[in-house]
Amino acid sequence: MEQFLRGVSLVGSGSAYLPLTLTNHTLSQLVDTSDEWITSRTGIRQRHLVSHGDSLGTLASQAARQALAMAGVEPGAVQLILLATSTPDDLFGSACQVQADLGATQAVAFDLTAACSGFVFALVTAAQYIRTGVFQTVVVVGADVLSRWTDWSDRSTCVLFGDGAGAVVLQASDRDRLLGFELCSDGSLNDHLKLPYQAVPDPLTPELSVQKGGFTPIAMNGREIYKFAVSRVPQVIEKALFRADLTTGDIDWLLLHQANQRILDAVAERLQVAPDRVLSNMANHGNTSAASIPLALDEAVRAGQIQVGDTIAAAGFGAGVTWGSAIFQWG
């Protein structure tokens, strides 16, 4: 009889390489800011931008391909591709493009949008398909090209964001290494961070008009999002840890959405996690939205920081607003 493996293991990670770099110094030539302000308020020193000829889809495919190579999994064995993104190449979705690029012909593929929480939401969603025995091999990608939607004349937002993509491969296993999770949304705070569609009426006939408009650049109330993150993220991690029957003392690595070094420090302090247990790559990448967690995970795995069996408390937070935490063991 076929054995149903309903535990979830994370068996490979990958990220896209973006050679184009935008430093704080260059930004200070575009808007009224300085390296000193950006570094001291955010911890960001540079961010990477998508190159001409690349797209959200090509970055996502690159990250997925690397993750599959690390996992030793052939694209043909993948059954589901979940692409967490808010910046698809096509509003109908970009995951199918990734499926085609990879040659993952047996996989169903779709996009999932939860802004900077997207990767955590997608990881948990993917895990449910494995736990219910539907799929055995899944690729989860977090990718965003926020540079497309950044107002490059707005110093309060343009210094924060970068482009990127990261991916993980999940497989069914006899032991469940997704130990606990908690996901949250609060649409009443939506106005604090948005990339809204602005409708412009376009008359078809004197009586009938349709909406023809476009998306307007990212608008954020930084202070409110900061307060939201510092208060809600520790709570959601504690809830996820509770579900995992663990405490903060059991965490090897705290892996937060890379929005602001001050947020990472404040959350770690509230949870009493030592600074050397907090993964941070934002000095090099800035805030890459759905990509930030898998990108930091992949860098830490490849650097040998994260070892097989390590317990990681990941947490995403951002527009929606959405926030969530997943506690998992690597490998």
Using CB under 6 A, count the residues that bind ligand UT7: 20
Question: Is residue 280 involved in binding ligand UT7 (CB under 6 A)?
Answer: no
Whether 287 is catalytic? yes
Q: Which of 24, 96, 158, 257 is catalytic?
A: 257
Find the DSSP H helices in the chain: 24-30, 35-42, 56-71, 95-102, 118-131, 155-158, 222-243, 261-271, 282-285, 292-302
Contact 140, 122 (CB under 8 A): yes
Question: Is residue 226 involved in binding ligand UT7 (CB under 6 A)?
Answer: yes
Least distance CB 44 / ligand UT7 (angstroms): 9
The two structure tokens encoding residue 285: 């990448």
| Residues in 180-199 that interact with ligand UT7 by CB under 6 A | 193
| Residues in 45-84 that interact with ligand UT7 by CB under 6 A | none
Stretch that binds ligand UT7, among 182-190, 235-243, 255-263, 267-275 (CB under 6 A): 255-263
Stretch that binds ligand UT7, among 122-130, 179-187, 206-214, 222-230 (CB under 6 A): 222-230
Least distance CB 268 / ligand UT7 (angstroms): 15
Strands (E) in 161-271, as ranges, are 163-173, 178-185, 193-194, 197-198, 201-203, 209-211, 214-215, 219-220, 253-256
| Bond prior to 168 in cis (omega within 30° of 0) | no
Whether 184 is catalytic? no
Place of tokens 């939401």: 121
Contact 93, 87 (CB under 8 A): no
d(CA 168, CA 37): 34
Whether 96 is catalytic? no
Least distance CB 51 / ligand UT7 (angstroms): 23
For ligand UT7, the closer CB: 42 or 137: 42
Stretch that binds ligand UT7, among 59-67, 205-213, 224-232, 274-282 (CB under 6 A): 224-232
State the Rg of the chain over Cα.
20
Question: Is residue 223 involved in binding ligand UT7 (CB under 6 A)?
Answer: yes
Least distance CB 118 / ligand UT7 (angstroms): 11
Q: Determine the 3-state secondary structure of 147 from DSSP.
A: helix
CA distances from 168 to 26, 33, 67, 157, 265 (A): 33, 36, 6, 29, 26
Question: Is residue 146 involved in binding ligand UT7 (CB under 6 A)?
Answer: no
For ligand UT7, the closer CB: 155 or 239: 155
Question: Is residue 41 involved in binding ligand UT7 (CB under 6 A)?
Answer: yes
Question: Is residue 155 involved in binding ligand UT7 (CB under 6 A)?
Answer: yes
d(CA 99, CA 94): 9
For ligand UT7, which residue has the nearest CB? Answer: 222
Question: Is residue 272 involved in binding ligand UT7 (CB under 6 A)?
Answer: no
d(CA 123, CA 168): 9
Question: Is residue 149 involved in binding ligand UT7 (CB under 6 A)?
Answer: no
Among 16, 112, 225, 271, binds ligand UT7 (CB under 6 A): 225
CA distances from 34 to 27, 44, 259, 281 (A): 8, 11, 18, 20
For ligand UT7, the closer CB: 20 or 219: 219
For ligand UT7, the closer CB: 41 or 131: 41
The conformation of residue 309, written as its DSSP 8-state character, comes to T
Q: Which residues are annotated as catalytic? A: 116, 257, 287
Q: By CB under 6 A, name the binding residues for ligand UT7.
A: 33, 37-38, 41-42, 116, 155-156, 159, 193, 222-223, 225-226, 229, 259-260, 263, 287, 318
